[in-house]
Structure 1
Amino acid sequence: MGWLTMPFTSMGGHASAKAYLDDQFTYSREVDGGTSGLRVLASSCPQNRTYYAAAQVMTNGAGGEVFAIICKVLWNPGSKTREQFGYKDMTESMGPCEDGCPQHILDLLTPTDKEHALDWRHRCAENLKRRSRKIADGDRIRLEQPVTFSDGHVGQEFIVEKQGRRVTLRDPETRGRYRISRLMERRWRIVPTTKIHKTIFA
Structure 2
Amino acid sequence: MGWTGTRAVYYYKNGTVNRKKECDEYLNTCLDGYELMRSTMRGTTYYAAIRKIKEEKQPVTGVVILTRVDNSEGLNFFYKVITENMGPAETKCPDSILDLLTEPESDITRDWRKTCREYNQQKRVLAGFHMGTQITVICSGKKYLLTKSVLRGHSTPQWICWPERTKFRVDDIIRLGFEKHRLDTSEITSA
TM-score scaled by length of structure 2 = 0.78
1:11-90 to 2 correspondences below 5 Å? 11=9, 14-15=10-11, 16-27=18-29, 37-47=33-43, 49-59=44-54, 64-76=58-70, 79-90=71-82
Matches of 1:155 and 1:176, distance apart in 2: 12
Equivalent residue number for residue 130 of structure 2: 136
Equivalent residue number for residue 155 of structure 1: 142
Equivalent residue number for residue 151 of structure 1: none
Counterpart secondary structure, 1:176: coil
Q: For 1:93, which of 85, 95, 103 is the aligned residue?
A: 85
Could you tell me which runs of 5 or more consecutive residues in structure 1 were left unpaired when the two chains were aligned.
Answer: 30-35, 149-153, 197-202
Cα offset for 1:156?
Answer: 1.7
1:8-48 Cα distance to aligned partner (Å, 9 max, x none)? 2xx3xx3322222222222599xxxxxx600000001245x
Verify: 1:193 aligned to 2:183, yes or no.
yes
Matches of 2:92 and 2:131, distance apart in 1: 26
Compared with structure 1, are the counterparts of its residues 59 and 169 closer, same or farther at alpha carbon in structure 2 (3 Å cutoff)?
same
> 1:54–1:108: 8 Å Cα contact kept in structure 2?
yes
Verify: 1:178 aligned to 2:166, yes or no.
yes
Cα offset for 1:97?
Answer: 0.2
Counterpart secondary structure, 2:49: strand
Equivalent residue number for residue 32 of structure 1: none
- Higher share of residues assigned helix: 2
Give aligned pairs, total: 172
Counterpart secondary structure, 1:25: helix
TM-score scaled by length of structure 1 = 0.74
Matches of 1:75 and 1:89, distance apart in 2: 15
Q: Identity rate of aligned residues, in percent?
A: 23
Equivalent residue number for residue 6 of structure 2: 6
Cα RMSD between the aligned structures?
2.5
Matches of 2:57 and 2:74, distance apart in 1: 38
Equivalent residue number for residue 121 of structure 1: 113
> 2:85–2:109: 8 Å Cα contact kept in structure 1?
yes
- Higher share of residues assigned strand: 1
Cα offset for 1:180?
Answer: 1.3
Cα offset for 1:83?
Answer: 3.2
Equivalent residue number for residue 156 of structure 2: 165
Cα offset for 1:59?
Answer: 1.0
